[in-house]
């Protein structure tokens, strides 16, 4: 999915099971490099970070370290 909203390009919805305003990942090409990645939530909040910061998050998820940390919070792993 690649919908453009202003200067935001939607990359993916992080739920996708409904149309209730699920968390979503965007790229803001017009933003400063430190704020290029945007994650919105279903409460109207947003987090902005650099591509480098986002890459660290992705690496943590790929390596399983994020799963380990979330398991301590009672999160259920998904296949």
Q: Which of 50, 25, 59 is nearest to 39 (CA)?
A: 25
Q: pTM higher than 0.75 for the full model?
A: yes
> Sorting pLDDT into bands at 50, 70 and 90, what band is 54?
very high
Q: Are β-strands 24-28 and 37-40 bridged in parallel, bridged antiparallel, or unpaired? A: antiparallel
Tokens representing 8?
A: 């935001």
**Annotated domain spans of the chain:** 4-71
pLDDT at 15 over 70: yes
| In the chain, alpha helices (H) | 51-63, 65-71
């Amino acid at each position: 999915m690649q919908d453009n909203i202003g200067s935001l390009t939607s990359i993916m919805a992080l739920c996708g099971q409904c149309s209730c305003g699920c968390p979503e990942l965007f790229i803001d090409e017009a933003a400063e490099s430190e704020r290029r990645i945007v994650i919105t939530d279903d409460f109207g909040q947003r987090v902005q970070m650099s591509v480098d910061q986002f890459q660290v998050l992705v690496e943590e998820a790929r390596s399983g370290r994020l799963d380990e940390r979330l398991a301590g919070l009672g999160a259920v792993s998904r296949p």
